[in-house]
Every structure is written in C-alpha cells, then in structure tokens.
Amino acid sequence: MSNSLPENLFSNHLENLVQSFVKEKLELIMEEERENFFKVENPELDSSKNGYYQRNLDTKYGRINLSVPRDREGYYTTHVFGPYERREKWLGETIINMYQHGFSTREVGQFIERILGDQYSAATISNITDVVVDDIESWKKRSLSRRYSVLYLDGTYFKLRRQDVDNEVIYMIIGMNEDGQKEILDFRVGGKESANVWKEQLYKLRDRGVEEVLLGVFDGLTGLDAALKEVFPKADVQRCVVHKLRNTQSMVRVKDKEHLFEDLKPVYRAEDKEQALENFEKFKQNWKKIYPKVIQSWEEDLSDLLRFYDYPPIIRPQIYTTNTIERAIKEIKKRLKPMNSLPSEKAVEKIIYLVSIDYNETWKNRKNTTFRSAYTELQKMFKERYQLNE
C-alpha cells in the first residue's frame, strides 16, 4: 500500500504550506520594516512597540491572515499594502477584466471562491468594478481632434432591468480623423433611439473640440440627417447602403429578390456617380411597375445613398456602409450577451467603456492606410469646405 497522500489532500497540504510560507515572509518583512522605520529612518521618534493587529489579505496564493506590527503612537504604517487594502492589485484587475469580458458578478464571485476559498458578494464585485466610473466621466470629457473626415453613428438595443426588463439603446460614435486615426469618441446608454438624443451627443462632440466634419455615415433614422446638419452644417450625409438593402428585402417577394438585388448592385458598385445614376434609371425602368414603393423609397434617399461617390475612390468601400462601427458594436453585444439583462445603466457603461478603451488602444498605432492614401484629396475638401477656418 502506498504511503502517499490522496491527490486532493496533497494539493490542499501543498496550498497550506505555500500560504504559511508567504505569511511568514510577509510578516518578517513588516517586522524589519518597523525596525528600520524607528532605528534608521526616524531615530528621533520615541515610540514603543504595541503588539499586532490582524488583517486579511487576498493574494494569488489564497486568503492570508497577517499579524501586522504597530507602535503605541501610530507613527509606523506598513508599505506592504495600503491602509485600506484588502486584496492585491492583481485581483482587482482580474475582476475588472472578467467583468469586461461578459462574466456576471455572480460568476466572478464563484471564480474568486474557487481560487481564494472565500466568496465575494455580487455587491463587492460591483464595488470593485466601480473604480472605472470616475474614469468614464473623464473619458467622456476628454478633448477631441478638430477635424474628422468621417463620423460613424449607430445604435443597438440591449436588455436593461429597471423595475422590469425592456430593450434600451446604446448610442455609439466612431470618428476617423484627418490622419486616418480611428477612435470611439463617445457613447450613451438608455431609452429608445431618438434623433434628438443623437443631436445632444453631436453637440457634446463640438463642445469637446470637433469643429470640422466632412461626412456623417448612419442608417435611416428619421431626423438624424437634420440633427447632423444642425450641429455640423457643412457636413455631408451618407445613408448606409447596406441598411437600405436590408430594409428593401422586406418589401420584395422571395421569388423576385435575387433578380431585383442583382439589378441594384450596379447602382452602388459603379465607377462613378454618373454611371451609378444611369444604372439606377435602368433599375427603375425594370421594377417601377412591379414594386413602385421600392422605387419611390430609393428615389427619395438616392442623393444621400450615393454621396460616397463624391469622395476619393479608395475610401468609398469604407464610407457607403456603417460596417466600421458595426464591428465594434458586435463586440460590445458579445460582452453583454452572457449577462442576459443588465441591472443598471452604470453596469452597461462600465462594460462599454472597457471595450472602448481596448479598441482605442489597439487603433492608436494603427493608422487606416486607405484614408492615409486619400489624405491630400481629403485635405483639399476640408480647405474648400471650411476655408473660413483656415
């Protein structure tokens, strides 16, 4: 018969040994720290030892109960941890990182219980992630560039708990500045999508330094084009062609879809605007008797749907659709999805903020090569359109 301990008992025994070793070394460091404080750093102070007080510290080795030395007059304070610190920095960072990636406060608490042997309540987890709340306010007030070649605007719905659960909107704005630098500029959480709220968000961008915008790219929300024009009157409007195509699908019978959409492709894939308009006339003649409302809808929006042809050819694939911003929104929804419904606006904001700073950090040293290639042409457009600001 083997004399070795069962695997689980051996593991527990090893953990206990490691914790005891760490406890012993930390307490030894604090003893030497107190001695050095009085005998070397502050020999003029006359203070006697006054025993110890107990402090739990959550470490990567588990929760350790430390005997912290003190003096009678309270001169000495250990630098092993902060005055109110109950956990090592790595733990707070781990909790925030898990929360950012869509783990619920309950799941994070269960994880902590597995590694420390002690469970953190959902309220404690929420309090730890609250360290980013002040950062959010500062981030949303930071200064922005003066010029943006493009502003992408899009919203998405998520489930939020108030007194009950309902769908509410996340507003998001991404900018491409004149140097080809992409950045999430701002976001807002709550309510139903509204052109008036979009206008408020655009005014906030202007207050933060944005003065000159060439193009706003967004879907067909009623009033959004007017909101952009009120805040940035010299900006062009580009309606998202992909959104328009999706909306058109619901207006066409299944048997006609393939043929009709094949006839539409030459409209938004032409070499230039002149050719696009000619192709639209052909499309119109082919389908106006069968789907007059489809033709009417496209005619009403055509100038804004084909605005991208007024811009350098190399950037057109990136400005006739909101795909640039939809990728970021997809990632946010991916992080929110495991939580089913969020308990508050603040909880949602924390996740969006953490995702946003990740994206912005990634994009910071990754200039968009197509926009950089069009730099000279775009600068000419800025100069012609905003000559009074030069």
Q: What pTM was estimated for this model as a whole?
A: 0.70
For residue 122, pLDDT over 70 is answered with no
- Sequential DSSP letters for 31-83: HHHHHHIIIII-TT----EEEEEEEEEEETTEEEEEEEEEETTS----SSS-T
Provide mean pLDDT across the span 21-44. 77
For residue 255, pLDDT over 90 is answered with yes
Residues 202 and 164 in one domain: yes
Tokens of 177: 């500045």
Residues 51 and 175 in one domain: no
Residues 103 and 241 in one domain: no
Residues 79 and 157 in one domain: no
Dihedral sign, CA of 191, 172, 195, 276?
Answer: negative
Do residues 375 and 315 lie in contact, with contact meaning Cβ atoms separated by under 8 Å? no
Residues 113 and 125 in one domain: yes
Percent of the chain scored above 90 by pLDDT? 48
Triad 387, 388, 390: Cα angle to 5°: 65
Half-sphere exposure of 335 (CA within 13 A, CB side): 22
**Local structure of 219: helix, strand or coil:** coil
CA 191 to chain centre: 19
- CA atoms of 290 and 293, how far apart (whole Å): 9
**Residues linked to residue 187 through DSSP beta bridges, in sequence order:** 172
Query: What pLDDT does 182 receive?
Result: 94
- Sequential DSSP letters for 122-180: HHHHHHHHGGGHHHHHHHTTS---SEEEEEEEEEEEEEEESSSEEEEEEEEEEEEETTS
Which of 182, 179, 231 lies closest to 207, judged by CA? 231
pLDDT tens-digit series, residues 191-248: 899 999 999 999 999 999 999 999 999 998 999 999 999 999 999 999 999 999 999 9
Which of 240, 224, 237 lies closest to 320, judged by CA? 240
**Local structure of 214: helix, strand or coil:** strand
| pLDDT tier, 102 (very low <50, low <70, confident <90, very high otherwise) | low
Residues 201 and 95 in one domain: no
Q: How many domains does the chain have?
A: 3
Query: What pLDDT does 103 receive?
Result: 63
Q: Which of 139, 159, 177 is the last residue of a domain?
A: 139
Residue at token pair 């696009």: 276
Query: Residue 72: exposed, middle, or buried by beta-carbon count in 10 A (0-12, 13-18, 19+)?
Result: exposed
Q: Tell me which of 190 and 346 has the higher pLDDT.
A: 190
Residues 123 and 211 in one domain: no
Q: Identify the weakest region by mean pLDDT among 12-21, 173-182, 225-234.
A: 12-21
For residue 95, pLDDT over 80 is answered with no
**Local structure of 215: helix, strand or coil:** strand
Residues 97 and 179 in one domain: no
Strands (E), the chain: 49-59, 62-71, 147-161, 165-177, 182-189, 212-218, 236-239
Triad 343, 347, 350: Cα angle to 5°: 170
Q: Identify the weakest region by mean pLDDT among 8-12, 41-45, 94-98.
A: 8-12
Q: Which of 139, 155, 171 is the last residue of a domain?
A: 139
Domain range for 309 is: 146-389
Query: What pLDDT does 8 receive?
Result: 54
pLDDT tens-digit series, residues 329-367: 888 888 777 665 666 787 788 888 888 888 898 898 888
Query: What pLDDT does 390 receive?
Result: 45
Do residues 182 and 117 lie in contact, with contact meaning Cβ atoms separated by under 8 Å? no
Residues 216 and 287 in one domain: yes
Tokens of 241: 């062609």
Q: How does 353-382 read in b/e, with b if 16+ C-beta sit within 10 Å?
A: bbbbbebbeebeeeebebbeebeeebeebb
Query: What pLDDT does 21 receive?
Result: 60
Residues 93 and 34 in one domain: no
CA 292 to chain centre: 42
Do residues 259 and 213 lie in contact, with contact meaning Cβ atoms separated by under 8 Å? no
Tokens of 325: 């911003």
Query: Residue 73: exposed, middle, or buried by beta-carbon count in 10 A (0-12, 13-18, 19+)?
Result: exposed
Residues 252 and 185 in one domain: yes
- CA atoms of 238 and 215, how far apart (whole Å): 7
Contacts 24+ apart (CB under 8 A), 221-226: 221/155, 221/193, 221/195, 222/195, 223/195, 223/196, 224/153, 224/195, 224/198, 225/304, 226/195
**Local structure of 221: helix, strand or coil:** coil
Residues 265 and 154 in one domain: yes
Percent of the chain scored above 70 by pLDDT? 76
